[in-house]
Amino acid sequence: MPTSKIAYLGDLRTEATHLASAEKIITDAPVDNNGKGEAFSPTDLAATSLGSCAMTIMGIVASRDEIDFRGSEIKITKTMSVELPRKIIRIELDFTMKTPQELSDEVKAKYIRAAHTCPVSLSLHPDIEQVFNFEWIS
């Protein structure tokens, strides 16, 4: 069964629909590639997917450990190649992890490993530099 469908709306815009939930995502080509830049670009979604996946996997592990990461955030910076073909060359993720109590360095390392081994991280081409920075706030 398909996961999603995508409709081309014209003017370099698409509408993706998640079939199980009917949730929708609009994409636009970025301004530096002939688009309007009024929504996520497809490469923005790829970079954002890395952050979402890493946080989700960390949340799964935290749930087992009865730790609540609610309120944690990630700022994501995507860098594209200058030369053709255009492609993502670097994704930097700046995690601000909010925890209800101070975590030991050993416990923090467990969550950092979990983030680095999320399915999206493991699926991206090895030429894409993935930089994970963590700030822990209790």
- Are the C-beta atoms of residues 76 and 41 closer than 8 Å to each other? no
What domains lie within the chain, and their CATH numbers?
4-33 (no CATH), 42-137 (3.30.300.20)
pLDDT tens-place values along the chain, 138 residues long:
999 999 999 999 999 999 999 999 999 999 989 999 999 999 999 999 999 999 999 999 999 999 999 999 999 999 999 999 999 999 999 999 999 999 999 999 999 999 999 999 999 999 999 999 999 999
| DSSP secondary structure, 12-73, as one string | TEEEEEETTT--EEEEE--GGGTS---SB-HHHHHHHHHHHHHHHHHHHHHHHTT---TT-E
At 53-78, the pLDDT tens digits run: 999 999 999 999 999 999 999 999 99
Chain centroid, CA 19 distance in Å: 21
Distance of CA 26 to the CA centre of its chain: 16
